[in-house]
Amino acid sequence: MEELNTTENVACPICNTTARQADAFCGKCGYPLKGEKQEQENFKQTQYQLEANLSMANHQIRKGGLTLYILSGITFLAGIILGFIAEPDFVERMFDAPQVPLGIVLLILSAAYLGLGLWSRQRPFAALLIALILYCTLLLMDIVADPASIIKGIIWKVIIIVALVRGTTGGYKAEKIKKELHLKSY
């Protein structure tokens, strides 16, 4: 009979990996191929829950990455306009900084946000945590230099911080869930 044929391959119903019919567990996801019906049902439930949580975490990671791309774009424009287009006198009065160096610093910052946004696809937790620390450090420097600056664009600052905090926690959760799902990449 077919059941006696131990060299026959079967597809895991969870991850579709080919397993030998003799295997008790799927080699990739650990599904109990030979388990009791209840055991298999429990495994499926846990797996679906983990996948739902992973997709939620990935959504937060993507939003965090998007926030970094937007920050990068705004900083890039600010760097070009303030550093190379605006009146030097105006810039020096407004920011108390020499024009071209200010522009260059902003362009470097823009590149850093872009790089962290791209990196957040591979290492979301590390990339978004670094971005969060970088952004908060800059805000603090602003506040130290001019305490009144805390009010400026406060809603945007809060939105950006919330998006980066959520992205960071999403990255942490996603990495944990992926370990549980036995996936090496996604």
Both structure tokens of 123: 């290492």
- Burial class of residue 15 in the structure, from the number of CB atoms within 10 Å of its CB (0-12 exposed, 13-18 middle, 19+ buried): middle
13 vs 153 by CB, closer to Zn ion:
13
20 vs 121 by CB, closer to Zn ion:
20
User: Is 29 a residue that touches Zn ion (CB under 5 A)?
Assistant: yes
User: Is 10 a residue that touches Zn ion (CB under 5 A)?
Assistant: no
User: Is 26 a residue that touches Zn ion (CB under 5 A)?
Assistant: yes
Radius of gyration (C-alpha) of the chain in whole angstroms: 25
Select from 17-25, 85-93, 142-150, 174-182 the region that touches Zn ion (CB under 5 A): 17-25
36 vs 89 by CB, closer to Zn ion:
36
User: Is 14 a residue that touches Zn ion (CB under 5 A)?
Assistant: yes
- Alpha-carbon distance 60 to 22, whole Å? 41
User: Is 12 a residue that touches Zn ion (CB under 5 A)?
Assistant: yes
Quick one: which of 10, 15, 97, 134 contacts Zn ion (CB under 5 A)?
Answer: 15
CB of 32 to Zn ion, least distance (A): 10
147-162 in b/e form (b: 16+ CB < 10 A) is eeeeeeeeeebeebee
Q: Which helix (H) or strand (E) holds 11?
A: strand 9-11
User: Is 31 a residue that touches Zn ion (CB under 5 A)?
Assistant: yes
- Alpha-carbon distance 32 to 16, whole Å? 13
How many residues are recorded in the chain? 186
Q: How far is CA 182 from CA 14, 17, 20, 63, 178, in A?
A: 12, 13, 19, 25, 6
14 vs 54 by CB, closer to Zn ion:
14
CB of 100 to Zn ion, least distance (A): 58
Largest CA distance in the chain: 90
CB of 6 to Zn ion, least distance (A): 19
Q: Which of residues 85-144 bind Zn ion (CB under 5 A)?
A: none
Could you list the residues that contact Zn ion (CB under 5 A)?
12, 14-15, 17, 26, 28-29, 31
